[in-house]
Structure 1
């Protein structure tokens, strides 16, 4: 089964700009320490909202029945400054070997997977690395290097500009499908660079489920849309 964490690690590597030979040894040492699990240990703060299920059908909808949405949970980390919302029936998924500065993994009863990773970089923004299309090309190229991957097809991509007044960073969102020895998958990813840290949110779904079920597509895109990085003042 394809690992969200491993894919995120490859993407983090893809978003590292070229470095000079003088700094190569130091950067290599940092990645080796991280891969060995010797980086600073961080436990994400997960706060489950005790919110009531929201009624989405009005009393005039007929038949006297009301539809309700699942209660939401919030995954938030104060130290690394990010948050997102997801359905409360998702569960934390552990990982025995740490390969990032920070990592949080979740999975749904229906087989969806979510991963948030944070890694150090030497640039201050996504734009410093490249345009949306340039970064998309790099991300898809990295995905094709994975063992067993036969094809990678871009579905959609979008850029959200930074807003200095609101202290919000820029984001790139890239959605693509893969066909590999592990099956056909859909990946919806959101990237941000803030404080010289690369934030990667990745949602993974079976391609047939994503394409065939509007509820799955809505859930994936809602989670991706809720992901935000808080810029320190």
Structure 2
């Protein structure tokens, strides 16, 4: 199953999907978060699933983090103190909260885990923008090794295009699997095709999904 980044609507868009008690809790949590990251804010992140229901919890956590305008240091503290769900919310929120590479240590930490949902969250737009080519290539191989669908990797086609080193690593990985009598993941063939320098380069895509040069 693909665990893609949750959509992040405005609070007004989310409220109709919540019960009245959940809406009141969300309003209070956002007002508290506007004062910055505090122990109360961290408690609200932990309560999100219980208060608003699991289907909305990821989005609620991201909204709370955005309302708090945290610094990279704040996000690092929340990430390392939090559960896997809270860590995932921090990773999903990074593109909206940290313009520079300061939060890359959080991406790198998530990529060292074997939690497939954290791996997926780590390879969102923030990693696409800031992760080094070396670490990004190894992250793609880890996706293939752990069964994380590469369809959840942000800017996959753009970053893989013409990457001869990634193509070499994929070919080596496929050869090792074949020699061991193990199947080669179908996603590997997909990524390998993307590395072809003769393929038409993809249009770089904004985080809102609109290709550069194709805005209306």
TM-score bracket, normalised by the shorter chain, equals: under 0.3
Instruction: Name the structure where helix makes up a greater proportion of residues.
Output: 2
Instruction: Name the structure where strand makes up a greater proportion of residues.
Output: 1
* Structure of greater relative contact order (alpha carbons < 8 Å, 6+ residues apart): 1
**What is the TM-score with the length of structure 1 in the denominator?**
0.23
**What is the TM-score with the length of structure 2 in the denominator?**
0.24
